[in-house]
Chains A and B, each alone.
Chain A
């Protein structure tokens, strides 16, 4: 395997179209990377809630993203709704499904992380199957509204252009907005205080009169709702199809694990690190190789710091 890897890296280095380093192209690539950061942040945020706060290994996270995308598709094709207007609906719909799932499945498996993992995998297959039954496996397309399409030129000199697509800016803006909102909910409201109390000491919180059942349900539903919003925002980037969630699952997990789940800011850092290093490496080599290298780096990182980069080391 190592021999294979080395051989292919040498091979790639020789064969990659290297016309030398171009600052303009590299800047463009980094701006593209910003779009990846936005997607990672959006998809990772929901996981940071369900995994970070509740310690649930949710392998059906990708399917909640997919459900959000389908909500947008339905609303857009039936009511001709603007993409931005569908965001609250997809949040509510996926949160509702999330609440039902928590009530019926997750609740039975608290304290058994590996069982939860299996159950959510089963759930993800079921959701995919049901969506496929209703909408068939055909690819669906969602249109982004006209005011967030096109490119924004930052710098132009002759035929050399530095530009960023407005949709990418929109994605990262949405992601940051949701991050701020989640931070506010978690650290500045009464409900957020209860959530943190349950995370830190469930029994004590219960003794003090916190309705832990309700808190669990609300937290899981909120995490799923965030995934739904991510699905809506992503839906117009690529086609909408039942297996689309799978593409985001592993990357979202890597984001969450890299940053650590102790602080919400870890997710931002994780998304930024993975997204930008992916873009930078892809500029010098190519996309698949960048992905392989970044994943390998994350594996090494988990090995040495399983609690993530941005977690203060605790003595246990």
Chain B
């Protein structure tokens, strides 16, 4: 199935340095709640989720070259799915009006639960919807825009329009979405009768962050990731080599929307509300800023940028109200003077996401150095298993 002519060092050779640094960071984050207070723990959990969101955008922008302002939309769709579940699971007495119907529906004169919201009372359905709703939406959009001649800038404008349209839509559908206020006062996260404490939520988020980072790293180091990078570099050439560029784009676009959706779903029990603020263009660009500042195509950069900017905002907010101005200046500075983001300040041996290409042997055709089918993205896994079993 795979035929590698030039030799590409594969993800099976996990660099020891990366593992060591990640392990130390993970350890620090594990003991973080016991050192810092509740407020800091909550903040850190929130920033980790924003970091995941930034990674999901990095997959499509940093690696594939599709700049999207719509990732806030995917995040919020996942968030709403979870928010309905948490809201509907409030006991009737905990609700303002003592009825099972959520308060915003009572205000807007709904008598019973709409049929398309009702299934979200059940946890497995809500959990699936949290991923399926944004991923499905993204798949439809992706199928619609990537299978056409639309390119670069126009895709970005389309994502702007999507974000703007959905914000208007969610604000106008007060009875179903809670309008501008969104869904507030949700219950704590609980499933199958177990209530998850705040600390538990922190560890769930930390675990998910680790999973997403490791998964994305593995994906982008695989042959599949190599194709994505080549799509970014020269889409036309890669399609001349026989790859169906659109299906690669749609796959990574849907995947990243799914990740963003889960991040949104975990965000709601932490934040205790979700509102169209997260749908709006402003939040969408916030994500773009994290990725741009951290460094496109670096995976770890966006997470670091999200955490740093979030902590900075937290400390600056107490002194001045002009946080946005500072963000603008940071963004301008990075775009003009540091186009590859903060991660490019690190020495080269600490930039782990670049592919170390070994010299291509003479006589081989450089044009088609890797031939992979879309199905092949699991072949690194096969190789990993083989290497563990010592059969390389």
A residues near B, CB below 8 A?
1, 3-5, 7-8, 11, 57, 105, 108-109, 113-115, 117-119, 121-126, 128-130, 132-133, 246, 249-250, 253-254, 257, 286, 288-289, 291-292, 295-296, 298-299, 302-304, 306
Q: Bound state CA distance, A19 and B289, in angstroms?
A: 49
Contact A118 B288 (CB under 8 A): yes
Q: What residues of chain A lie closer than 8 Å to B67, measured between beta carbons?
A: 114, 117
Contact A105 B322 (CB under 8 A): no
Interface pick from B39-47, B151-159, B242-250, B382-390:
B151-159
For residue B137, CB closer than 8 A to chain A, the reply is yes
Which of B150, B164, B172 sits near A250, CB closer than 8 Å?
B164
Contact B335 A304 (CB under 8 A): no
Interface pick from B1-9, B95-103, B324-332, B348-356:
B324-332
From A3, A5, A118, A292, name the one whose CB has the most chain B CB atoms within 10 angstroms: A118
> Nearest CB to that of A137 among chain B residues?
B321
Q: What residues of chain B lie closer than 8 Å to A132, measured between beta carbons?
A: 322, 325
Which of A105, A289, A295, A304 sits near B332, CB closer than 8 Å?
A105
7 further contact pairs, Cβ within 8 A, besides A126-B325, A306-B150 = A5-B169, A11-B175, A105-B332, A113-B153, A114-B153, A249-B281, A292-B169
Q: How large is the interface on B (under 10, 10 to 19, 20 to 34, 35 or more residues)?
A: 35 or more
Contact B336 A108 (CB under 8 A): yes
Interface pick from B141-149, B208-216, B360-368:
B141-149
For residue B162, CB closer than 8 A to chain A, the reply is yes
Q: Bound state CA distance, A103 and B329, in angstroms?
A: 17
B165 to chain A, nearest CB (A): 4
A254 to chain B, nearest CB (A): 6
Contact A1 B165 (CB under 8 A): no
For residue B60, CB closer than 8 A to chain A, the reply is no
B170 to chain A, nearest CB (A): 9
Q: A1-B77, A253-B157, A302-B157 known; A129 and B172 CB under 8 Å?
A: no
Q: Bound state CA distance, A254 and B161, in angstroms?
A: 8
For residue B34, CB closer than 8 A to chain A, the reply is no
B10 to chain A, nearest CB (A): 30
Q: Bound state CA distance, A5 and B173, in angstroms?
A: 10
Contact A257 B157 (CB under 8 A): yes
> Nearest CB to that of B163 among chain A residues?
A250
B191 to chain A, nearest CB (A): 24
B203 to chain A, nearest CB (A): 32
Q: What residues of chain A lie closer than 8 Å to B114, measured between beta carbons?
A: 7
Main SS class of interface, B: helix
Q: What residues of chain A lie closer than 8 Å to B156, measured between beta carbons?
A: 57, 114, 117
Q: What residues of chain B lie closer than 8 Å to A254, measured between beta carbons?
A: 161
Contact B77 A295 (CB under 8 A): no
Q: What residues of chain A lie closer than 8 Å to B153, measured between beta carbons?
A: 57, 113-114, 117
Q: What residues of chain A lie closer than 8 Å to B335, measured between beta carbons?
A: 109, 115, 118-119, 122
Q: Can you list 22 contacts pairing A with B, beta carbon distance less than 8 Å? A: A1-B136, A7-B176, A105-B332, A105-B336, A117-B156, A118-B335, A122-B329, A124-B328, A125-B328, A126-B328, A126-B332, A130-B325, A132-B322, A133-B325, A250-B281, A253-B161, A295-B165, A298-B161, A302-B150, A302-B157, A302-B161, A303-B150
For residue B59, CB closer than 8 A to chain A, the reply is no
Q: Bound state CA distance, A291 and B144, in angstroms?
A: 21
Contact A246 B157 (CB under 8 A): no
A102 to chain B, nearest CB (A): 14
> Nearest CB to that of B327 among chain A residues?
A125
Q: Bound state CA distance, A57 and B136, in angstroms?
A: 29
Q: Bound state CA distance, A8 and B176, in angstroms?
A: 9
Which of A1, A105, A121, A125 sits near B325, CB closer than 8 Å?
A125
Q: What residues of chain A lie closer than 8 Å to B289, measured between beta carbons?
A: 121-122
Contact B116 A3 (CB under 8 A): yes
Q: What residues of chain A lie closer than 8 Å to B285, measured between beta carbons?
A: 121
Q: Bound state CA distance, A57 and B153, in angstroms?
A: 8
B327 to chain A, nearest CB (A): 6
For residue B200, CB closer than 8 A to chain A, the reply is no
For residue B282, CB closer than 8 A to chain A, the reply is yes
Q: What residues of chain B lie closer than 8 Å to A7, measured between beta carbons?
A: 114, 116, 176
